[in-house]
Amino acid sequence: MQIETITTHPYNDQNPGTSGLRKKVKVFQQPGYLENFVQAIFDSLDGLAGKTLVLGGDGRYFNRPAIQVIIKMAAANGFGELIIGQGGLLSTPAASHIIRKYNAFGGLILSASHNPGGPDEDFGIKYNVSNGGPAPEKDTNAFYQRSLVIDSYKIASIEDIDLDCIGTQRIDNFSITIIDPVADYAELMQSIFDFNLLKQSISSGYITLLFDAMHAITGPYAKRIFIDILGATPDSVINAEPLEDFGGHHPDPNLAHAQELAERMFGSAPPVFGAASDGDGDRNMITGSNIFVTPSDSLAIMAANAHLIPAYAKGLRGVARSMPTSQAVDRVAAHYNIPCYETPTGWKFFGNLLDAGKITLCGEESFGTGSDHVREKDGLWAVLFWLNLIAIKRQSVADIVNEHWQKFGRDIYCRHDYEAVEIDIANDIVDHLRNQLPTLPGQTFAEYTVKYADEFSYEDSIDGSISSNQGIRIGFENGSRIIFRLSGTGTVGATLRIYLERFEADASKHNQSAQVVLATLINLAEQFCEIKKRTGRTEPNVVT
C-alpha cells in the first residue's frame, strides 16, 4: 500500500461544537479542509495502530465522497480495520452500538444531525470514543488545537471502495468490512422491548402508528423494525427513503418541520401513535391522537414508567437531564428516591454518568432521550419505548400524559428559537444578560420574584472536569425559570434559545395553552434580553 504525505495549511475555524464540526458543504469541499480535520483527530489519538474504526453517516450530500477520503486516511494512519454501514449509512445510535458491540477503538460519524442537507446546506463530522459516546471536551479541544498548526496529512493511494457490497475486503494488512447498517441495532431493540406484545397489539389493531423518517437515516431502520418485524402496514412509515437533501425538507422532528405527520395526527381519524426522527436518527418527536408530548414530559413519563419495560424491570439507578430541560423528571426522581443529575447540553456529559453506573435514563429538551443501552440519544428507541408503554398500559398517549400530570403536576414549558442571529448581536445579548445577573435576585416582576440569576457551570462528578458558560438562568421563587443559551448546532450565525417553564400543580389548569400560561414569562424574557429590539424581529423562528 503506497502512502502519500500531502502538504497542507491550517484552517482556523475547525473548533468542534456540542456535536462535532458542522459547516456548509462548500466549506468542507475546500482543498484539504476535510482531510485536515480528520488528520487532526488521528494525530490526537494515542494507540490507534491496528485498531478498529467504525464509519458511517446519515446519507446527506457529500457523505459518500467524504467516506472514501476517510477510508484512505484511516489506512494511511495505521488503523487495522474499518467497519462501515452499507451505502455509507449508519444512524448515530446504531454507530454507538456497533462501536460498543465490536469493541472498536472509536468511530467517525458523518452528520449535521437535524440541519438541512444538499450542495448548499450543511455537513458535519464527529468522533466517538470507545464507549460509543461523543468525544469529551478534552479530546475535542485537542482536535482543535492540532488543526491550528497542522501542515500535512497522510492518505493511501488505493481505489475507491464499493460501499454497497456487504462483506470484507483486504488491502495488505488493512481490512474493510461493509455491514448491514440495521441488523445489529434491530437485534439490540429486541433485547430491550417486548416485541411479542408489540406484534400482538399491532396485528389486533389496538395500536395504529405513523412514523415519519423525514427522508433521513431512520427510514431503513423503521421499515425493518416496524413493518418487517412488528407487522405494521407499509403505509405506517412515510418519507422512508434517505435522500441527500432530505427531499428539500428540514429533518428536524418538531411540529413546524414534520408537517405531514402533524396534519395526520391532529386531523380527523388520526392513528393511535405518531412519531418522527431527525437526520441522523438520534432525536424523536412523540405524538398521539391530537396531542403533542414535549420532550421534557416524555423523559419524565419514561422515567416514571420504566419498570414496565423488560430491560428496566429492576428500576432505574438514576436519571439525568440537561440544564434547560424542564424539572418534570426531577419530580419523578424525588418520588422514587433515585438520584437526578443536571448537566450542560450535549450528550457527552451523560457519558461519564452512564459509564459509572450512576444513571440509566437521560434526556434533553431538544428532542433527545436515551439510556444505558448506547452512549447517544436514540430516536427509534424512544419510539419503541412509547409503543411498549401503550401496549402494556392499554392507554392512549393522551391518557398516559394526563395520568402523569395528575400524579406529578405539570411543568408547562416551551422553547423559542431565534435562528441565524448575527454573531456580534448574539454575543452582545449575552453580555447584556450577564451584566444584569448581580442585580436581579430579590426583584419582583408582576407575580414573579427572582430567587437566583446566574450562569450555569458544571463540575463533572466522575472526572472533576469543569464546564463553564453553559447558559444563563433566571429562577423565580415559585419555581419558574427563564433560561437563555446560544446553541452550538447551527452553521450560520448563532441561534439564541429561550426556555420558559412554570410548574402547575392544579389539575384543573393542566390543559391550558403553554403560550397563554407563559405569556408573562415570555414578555419578561424579552425585557431581559431585548432580542426583538436588537434584531428587529417580531417572533421566534421556531416555537417548541
Q: Record the cell numbers describing residue 316, joined without a space.
A: 432505574
Nearest Cα to 400, choosing from 501, 480, 287?
287
- Is 402 in a helix, a strand, or coil? helix
What is the spatial distance between Cα 298 and Cα 514, in angstroms, rounded to a whole number? 16
The answer for residues whose C-beta is within 8 angstroms of residue 101's C-beta and 6 or more apart is 184, 188
The answer for residues whose C-beta is within 8 angstroms of residue 187's C-beta and 6 or more apart is none
Q: What is the CB neighbour count within 10 angstroms for residue 44?
A: 20
Catalytic one of 44, 113, 298, 371: 113
Q: Record the cell numbers describing residue 200, joined without a space.
A: 400482538
- Cα dihedral: 371, 257, 213, 179 (round 10): -70
Catalytic residue check, 467 = no
β-strands 472-476, 21-24 pairing = unpaired
The answer for residues whose C-beta is within 8 angstroms of residue 52's C-beta and 6 or more apart is 79, 80, 81, 82, 83, 102, 103, 104, 105
What is the spatial distance between Cα 397 and Cα 375, in angstroms, rounded to a whole number? 27
Q: 411 with 328: CB under 8 angstroms?
A: yes
- Cα dihedral: 487, 517, 364, 353 (round 10): 120
Radius of gyration of the chain (CA): 23
Instruction: Outline where DSSP puts E strands in 279-378.
Output: 284-288, 291-293, 319-322, 340-343, 361-364, 368-371
Q: Which residue in the block uniquely carries the three cell numbers 465490536?
A: 102
What is the spatial distance between Cα 22 and Cα 59, in angstroms, rounded to a whole number? 15
Q: Name the phi and psi angles at 53, rounded to 5.
A: -120, 130
Q: 111 with 128: CB under 8 angstroms?
A: no
- Catalytic machinery residues: 113
